[in-house]
Amino acid sequence: MNFYRNMIAIDAFNISAILDLPARKNIYTSVVLIISMFVTTNIFAAAGDSISNTATINYVIGGVPGTGNASASFLEDRLINFSVSEDNGSAAVPVISDMTDAVMQFTVTNTGNGVQDFLLTAVNTAPNPFGLPADNFDPLTIQVFAESGATPGYQAVEDTAVFIDELVPNVPHVVYVVADLPTQVIDDVSVIALIVQIAEGGVVGTEGLVVNADDNGHISPAGVFSNGSTSVSAGTANTIPDSPLTMETVFNDPAGLSPEDVSTDLVQDIARNGQHADAGAYQVMSPVAIVKTVTVIDPLGGTDPYPGATLRYQLDVVVTGNTAVDNLVISDAIPANTTYTDNSILLNAVAQTDADDAPVDYSRAIDILAKPVVSIEVDLSQGGTVSVAPGVTNVIIFEVTID
């Protein structure tokens, strides 16, 4: 059956064929309408488009011009393909114990030829894609949200969509896995896989129905998506004969790269199942980052570290993550063969006393009375009354002289 052939073999004497024409045109029009309804989900992309081509011929016979034309048309079928990648490069996302809303960012790109919705879920998985330490804890809660497009980065108020809506081909879309973490110790690791499932596009703002089977016998496993609100069953394998006049759906999604890149059946994602995944890891780190620098000031105004020269130490202290830290006390030992310079402590350019005299200030030089001073101490939490917010840099400066 050569549906796609439109051979013209009708000559001027074939009266019956000419007479038939109007009726046939009507039928053709109504069938085209049915096709149009069928492919409305993909009006912004190539899938389902009729690819139509009409050749024309002009010629002269017996001094009289003649023309003819012939068409060939077929439907472009729907390719399902997409990529999922964790965005923190080749390292775990640093988090802190008891963190809320620990964000792991992913990017989903539709590399098929239709506008599609994508269902999202994140699961605990293993092993650690970045090597050691091994996965040893699970978050208390894991949620997944799609970027709204309003403000880059996860915004709890804005980024509330639980699926990716109407993703056109070749436009990346950011997705956030958002987890609340239990009490853990430094270097504990939790490995998470984001699993993305193809779904129908077509209606803006509405979560599309899952596409859990293609037309070549491939199926998706059952799964729970959209932060628990959408349960889908496994697909039923079916095989639709390829036809130039119907849009077949073809799963062409790749397999998960590594054992931790699982599909919703919790085994390594296989190719052509309408799902794709990538894994990342949370790793518990110290919530406080300190950068220490030293400046040498010699008595002649140079920078030579000889006896009598001053060493000015600067500690830049910043709380990482998104959780404020309580009881943050910074202390630093006075190096050997140096002597603390009395009253040299500065906190954010404000002079501090050496005495243990809170609440005048919350800094002190330990053993300032007995001498030598063995260390300095700055209580950024001011006796437990202040939480130190993340992202703010506190600058501590103190000086010693070389003996």
Partner 1 sequence: MKNIKQNIFKTILISVFTLFTAMNAYAEDGAIRFSNNAFKQVISKAADGTVKYDYVEPGLVLPDDVILYEIVFENISDQEVSNIVVNNPIANNSKYRDSSATGDSTEITFSVDGKNFAAADALTVKDQTGKTWKAKPEDYTAIRWVYKKALKPGEKGKVTYKTTIK
First to last CA, the chain: 99
Compute the least distance from the CB of residue 38 to partner 1, in Å: 7
Compute the least distance from the CB of residue 270 to partner 1, in Å: 19
Q: Which is nearer to partner 1, 56 or 337 (CB)?
A: 56
Q: What is residue 33's three-state secondary structure?
A: helix
Q: Cα torsion for 258, 260, 264, 267, to the nearest 10°?
A: 70
Task: Measure the CA–CA gap between 26 and 303, rounded to whole angstroms.
Answer: 94
Q: Which is nearer to partner 1, 235 or 256 (CB)?
A: 235
Q: What is residue 196's three-state secondary structure?
A: strand
Q: Which is nearer to partner 1, 20 or 304 (CB)?
A: 20
Task: Please spell the DSSP secondary structure of 102-171, one letter per residue.
Answer: EEEEEEEEE-SSS-EEEEEEEEEE-S-TT-SSPB----SEEEEEE--SSSSS--TTT--BSEEEEEPTT-
Phi, psi angles (nearest 5°) of residue 402: -80, 130
Sheet with 141-146, side-by-side order of all strands: 82-86, 102-110, 172-180, 141-146
Compute the least distance from the CB of residue 178 to partner 1, in Å: 30
Helix (H) or strand (E) holding 38, with range, is helix 15-38
* Residue 223 near residue 232, CB atoms below 8 Å: yes
Q: Which is nearer to partner 1, 56 or 90 (CB)?
A: 56
Q: Which is nearer to partner 1, 250 or 346 (CB)?
A: 250
Burial of 122 (0-12, 13-18, 19+ CB in 10 A): buried
Q: Which is nearer to partner 1, 17 or 134 (CB)?
A: 17
Q: Which is nearer to partner 1, 52 or 151 (CB)?
A: 52
Compute the least distance from the CB of residue 5 to partner 1, in Å: 5
Compute the least distance from the CB of residue 28 to partner 1, in Å: 5
Task: Measure the CA–CA gap between 295 and 290, rounded to whole angstroms.
Answer: 16
Task: Measure the CA–CA gap between 50 and 36, rounded to whole angstroms.
Answer: 10
Compute the least distance from the CB of residue 195 to partner 1, in Å: 20
Task: Measure the CA–CA gap between 120 and 276, rounded to whole angstroms.
Answer: 10
Task: Measure the CA–CA gap between 273 and 114, rounded to whole angstroms.
Answer: 17
Compute the least distance from the CB of residue 182 to partner 1, in Å: 40
Task: Measure the CA–CA gap between 142 and 124, rounded to whole angstroms.
Answer: 9
Distances in Å between the Cα of 207 and the Cα atoms of 42, 119, 135, 249 are: 15, 8, 33, 19
Q: Which is nearer to partner 1, 64 or 157 (CB)?
A: 64
* Residue 67 near residue 58, CB atoms below 8 Å: yes
Compute the least distance from the CB of residue 212 to partner 1, in Å: 7
Compute the least distance from the CB of residue 14 to partner 1, in Å: 7
162-201-50 Cα angle (round to 5):
165
Q: Which is nearer to partner 1, 2 or 90 (CB)?
A: 2
Q: Which is nearer to partner 1, 90 or 236 (CB)?
A: 236
Compute the least distance from the CB of residue 115 to partner 1, in Å: 14
- Nearest-CA neighbor of 175 among 127, 75, 117, 105? 105
Parallel, antiparallel or unpaired: strands 64-75 and 50-61 = antiparallel
Q: Which is nearer to partner 1, 190 or 249 (CB)?
A: 249
Compute the least distance from the CB of residue 223 to partner 1, in Å: 16
Tokens of 25: 């045109």
